[in-house]
């Protein structure tokens, strides 16, 4: 979905996930790939309940049995805004799913009630979320700009490896120690782990777009060689690239 103008300073992407149609037969596995972003989720259940959840950075893939979720709307937060919006360092959310009520208290309960009354109207739901997020403390602009510049530098460019971390810190006019601390608090991950997640995600995107030409994909995603890609992919995804794209996944967990 397009990000509403009022949410763009805080949210980089909005997506709606839809459950499998029960009439279509067996549900597809639900795969959560490693992800360096923090997201705010609103979902409804088949029993008519609603949940507001915060999903922190995810360092490894997880595989679940498909679940009947009529609506699941995801707001992917921009780098540097999660801490002031949520009120905790992002490092406390890494590899966790937290009810927003644990962070916002009664304000989360009021927001959840308003979202349930929206009756699945995506536009109205986003209006309520925009109002709630806009009422939170505003992110520090200078700090946010620094976080986003560091994220961009660490993501690198297709087919090219990024500069060493000390050089990136010098370009940003901060110490390497400050850069590492900033990343841990604002992104929730050390820079090296952030890079590993970004490379695996690039591999997945390139393989879906261009097919599994592994040696070419390894170079395009910034790995030293194909064996480096395979080892890192297995560590983060739980299986080799070949097994993943053939559908040979790890055992599914209850969702």
Helix or strand (DSSP H, E) at 11: strand 11-17
**pLDDT of 161:** 64
- Phi and psi of 197, rounded to 5°? -65, -45
The pLDDT value recorded for residue 112 is 95
Which tens digits make up the pLDDT trace of 113-141? 999 999 889 999 999 999 999 999 888 88
Closest CA to 31 of 243, 237, 241: 237
pLDDT band at residue 254 under the 50/70/90 scheme: confident
**pLDDT above 60 for 158:** no
| Cα dihedral 214, 217, 221, 223 in deg (nearest 10) | 40
Q: According to the model, what pLDDT value does residue 29 have?
A: 83
Number of domains in the chain: 1
State both tokens at 181: 């601390």
User: What pLDDT does 159 receive?
Assistant: 52
- Give a yes or no: residue 179 inside a domain: no
DSSP H helices in the chain? 82-86, 101-104, 106-117, 122-134, 141-155, 165-171, 176-186, 191-210, 214-221, 226-237, 241-245
19 has pLDDT over 70: no
In a domain, 224, yes or no: no
Residue 5 burial (C-beta neighbours within 10 Å; 0-12, 13-18, 19+): exposed
Residue 161 lies in a domain: no
Residue 62 in domain:
yes
In a domain, 109, yes or no: yes
Give per-residue pLDDT as tens, 41-98: 999 987 788 999 999 999 999 998 877 778 899 999 999 899 999 999 999 999 999 9
77 is a domain residue: yes
Position 25 scores a pLDDT of 53
Please tell me the pTM assigned to this model: 0.89
Pick the closest to residue 48 from 74, 28, 71 (CA basis): 71
Instruction: Return d(Cα 215, Cα 213) in angstroms, integer.
Output: 6
- Is 248 a domain residue? no
**Confidence (pLDDT) at 156:** 65
Q: Looking at 17-21, 84-88, 172-176, which range is the least confident one?
A: 17-21
The HSE-up count of residue 221 (CA atoms within 13 Å, CB side) is 31
Residue 156 belongs to some domain of the structure: no
Q: What integer is the mean pLDDT of 155-177?
A: 80
pLDDT at 203 over 80: yes
Q: What integer is the mean pLDDT of 140-167?
A: 80
Which residue range forms the structural domain that includes residue 55?
A: 5-134
Question: Of 107, 31, 60, whose CA–CA distance to 235 is shortest?
Answer: 60
Quote the pLDDT of residue 26: 62
The pLDDT, as a whole number, for residue 118 is: 93
**CA–CA distance, 165 with 146 (Å, rounded to integer):** 14
Q: Residue 108: which of 128, 127, 94 has the closest Cα?
A: 128
Interatomic CA distance for residues 44 and 71, integer angstroms:
5
Tell which wins on pLDDT, 216 or 25. 216
Burial class (CB in 10 A: 0-12, 13-18, 19+), 216: middle
């Amino acid at each position: 979905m397009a990000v509403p103008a009022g949410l763009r300073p805080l949210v980089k992407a909005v997506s709606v996930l839809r459950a499998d149609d029960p009439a279509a037969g067996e549900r597809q596995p639900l795969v959560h790939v490693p992800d360096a972003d923090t997201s705010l989720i609103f979902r409804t259940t088949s029993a008519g309940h609603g949940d507001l959840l915060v999903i922190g950075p995810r360092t490894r893939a997880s595989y679940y049995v498909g679940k009947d979720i009529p609506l699941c709307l995801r707001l992917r937060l921009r780098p540097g805004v999660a801490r002031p919006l949520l009120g905790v360092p992002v490092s406390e959310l890494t590899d966790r799913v937290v009810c927003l009520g644990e962070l916002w208290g009664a304000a989360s309960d009021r927001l959840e009630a308003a979202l349930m009354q929206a009756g699945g109207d995506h536009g109205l739901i986003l209006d309520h979320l925009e109002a709630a997020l806009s009422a939170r403390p505003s992110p520090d602009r200078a700090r946010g700009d620094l976080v986003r510049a560091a994220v961009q530098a660490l993501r690198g460019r297709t087919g090219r490896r990024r500069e060493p971390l000390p050089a990136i810190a010098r370009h940003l006019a901060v110490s390497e120690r400050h850069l590492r601390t900033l990343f841990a608090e604002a992104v929730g991950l050390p820079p090296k782990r952030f890079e590993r997640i970004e490379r695996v995600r690039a591999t997945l995107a390139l393989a879906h777009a261009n097919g599994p030409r592994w040696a070419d994909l390894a170079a395009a995603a910034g790995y030293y060689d194909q064996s480096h890609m395979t080892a890192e992919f297995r560590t983060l995804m739980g299986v080799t690239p070949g097994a993943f794209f053939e559908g040979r996944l790890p055992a599914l967990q209850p969702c």
